[in-house]
Structure 1
Amino acid sequence: MSTRAIQKDAARLLDVVEGGGIAIVGLDVGYAIMGHTEAAIRRIFEAKQRSYSKPCGFFSSWELVEEIYLIGERERRMVSTVIHDYNLPLSVVAPFQRDHPIYRRLSPFVLENASRAGTQDMLLNAGEFHNELARQSRARMVAVLGSSANLSLAGSKFRLEEVEPEVRAAADLLLDYGLCKYHNPRGMGSTIVDLTNFDTIRAGICYERICEIFLDHFNVDLKAIAAHRRGGSKATSAVRL
């Protein structure tokens, strides 16, 4: 698909979610369901049968990491190395600035359910469409929030037709981007790393390579940290969201 077509699709999606609607689109890491308003986020949780104990994520960018996250220079270099030097997708969790302009139009309910204990999960570098959407989101100051487009605990979906009918029915806009780049038989989504303690929240797509990068460049052993925090259990199984 051409860059211009992707730009137009991203703008159309932003128009829908800014207007209170829900969109489903294919990213490199799986099909995602997205919204912006309180009504949309409530519908997403309902359609997915998702517990409110699991906050939704923020479809974000490197620029927003720099502006929003309250992290040190080392943590910034870790993220940059993975997404820029190795061009891999990554979700990260860290403390954030709640007063950033991109959050100003979010209702308290939405911000509460897009964060936990003062931290927020950002998905980064999940393909050309994701990056263009995040760029336009920042330019328009419209936060795009959501989750994987599937029933909770059913695993990520990598073709639009695989998304459960009740989840698809919740969407006002469906964008079919074909088979996702990182499709896998286990339904794994993006790898999620907590930057406050380097715990692996989810061992997902490209986890082995991301572990190598953290160890080789920063002497941080994600697997050892995860095993220690789980009393010796391995962190290589996917957590299905």
Structure 2
Amino acid sequence: MKVIYDLKNIDFNRIKELLEKKEIVVYPTDTVYGVGGLITSEEAIKKIYQAKERSYKSPIIALISSVDKIEEIAYINEKNREPIENLIEKFWPGGLTIILKKKEFVPDILTAEGDTIGIRMPNLDIALKIIESVGGVLPTTSANISGETTPRSYDEVSEKFRERVGILIDGGKSPIGEESTIIDMSNEPKIVRVGAIPVEEIEKVIGKI
């Protein structure tokens, strides 16, 4: 049975129950619409990959509901701690994903067998509440079949994709409407993807990359 909510009738307790039963959810974030599932469930993570028709060689990031969740799932390189903290202070919550070394319990399927994980705290209340409902960490990627346009609103999530997901949340348009910028801070700083946060703004905070 498919469960569909809008912002007027959303039931966070029910969403929590369904996620804990390994369902996956399409929901709005501040950047674009995402699809997420329980971090402790390999079955749920596989459902995300299958819904997207995504290669298991492509990692999925984790969205968090508060900064203190970072070191529950990742290690902060001590030489980069100050610049990482400065980036968080400037750009979180918001459109910057930071890659760090993952902790051992994070499933390898989530990180494409790699030893790092991308982490972001979104700047949208409904997203934060959904993430918080399952413990503050929710693996999430864009809610589209690989190769399709990334959805900036619920209406842009394809019917084919919706059919593959157990929980759908219609939250209208995402405020930013652009994917996050990704920076790898697990070693030497490196921009992986340019998105919502311009590189020039990042360099004002941590220097030339």
Secondary structure (helix, strand or coil) at the match of 2:134 reads helix
Q: C-alpha displacement at 1:144, in angstroms?
A: 2.1
The answer on 1:134 being equivalent to 2:140 is no
Structure 2 residue aligned with 1:147: 141
Q: Does structure 2 retain, via aligned residues, the 8 Å contact 1:29–1:89?
A: yes
Look up the equivalent residue of 2:35 and give its one-letter code: I
TM-score, with normalisation over the residues of structure 2? 0.81
Corresponding residue for residue 92 of structure 1:
98
Which residue of the partner structure matches residue 55 of structure 2?
A: 51
| Aligned counterpart, 2:109 | 113
1-structure distance, mates of 2:86, 2:125: 18
Q: Return the alpha-carbon distance in structure 2 between the equivalents of residues 29 and 128 of structure 1.
A: 13
Using the alignment, how far apart are the partners of 1:11 and 1:74 within structure 2?
40
Shift of 1:130: 2.7
Alpha-carbon separation, structure 1, partners of 2:74 and 2:49: 25
Match of 1:27 in 2: 29
The residue correspondences of 1:4-23 to structure 2 (distance < 5 A) are 9-23=11-25
The residue type paired with residue 164 of structure 1 is: S
Q: Aligned ranges for residues 181-196 of structure 1 at < 5 Å?
A: 181-183=175-177, 188-195=178-185, 196=187
Distance 1:217 1:145, change over 3 A: closer
- Counterpart among 200, 206, 213 of residue 191 in structure 2: 200
More strand by share: 2
Relative distance call for 1:122 and 1:163 in structure 2 (3 A) is same
- Conservation of the 8 A alpha-carbon contact between 1:90 and 1:126: no
SS state of the match for residue 50, structure 1? Answer: coil
Write the distance in 2 (CA, Å) between the matches of 1:27 and 1:89. 10
1:124 aligns to 2:115 (yes or no): no
Contact 2:67 2:121 survives alignment (8 Å): yes
Contact 1:17 1:23 in 2 (8 A): yes
Deviation for aligned residue 1:193: 0.8
The AA in structure 2 aligned to 1:114 is L
Could you tell me whether the CA contact under 8 Å between 1:26 and 1:176 is conserved in 2? yes
Deviation at 1:86, TM superposition (A): 4.5
Structure with the higher fraction of residues in helix conformation: 1
Give aligned-pair identity as a percent: 22
Letter in 1 for 2:70: V
- TM-aligned CA distance change 1:47 to 1:67, over 3 Å: closer
State the aligned residue count. 196
Q: Could you tell me which runs of 5 or more consecutive residues in structure 2 were left unpaired when the two chains were aligned.
A: 1-6
Structure 1 unaligned runs (5+)? 104-110, 223-241
Q: Does 1:40 align with 2:37?
A: no
Q: Aligned equivalents of 2:203 and 2:167: distance in 1?
A: 41
Following the alignment from structure 2 to structure 1, what is the Cα–Cα distance between the partners of residues 82 and 125?
22
Residues 13 and 133 of structure 2 are in contact (CA less than 8 Å); yes or no, is this contact kept in structure 1?
yes
- In 1, the alpha carbon distance for the partners of 2:82 and 2:124 equals 20
Identify the match of residue 162 of structure 2 among 168, 190, 199: 168
Structure possessing the higher relative contact order (Cα contacts under 8 Å, 6 or more residues apart): 2
- Alpha-carbon separation, structure 2, partners of 1:212 and 1:126: 21
Closer, same or farther: CA 67–46 of 1 in aligned 2, 3 Å: closer
Aligned residue identity for 1:63: D
Give 1:181 shift.
Answer: 0.5
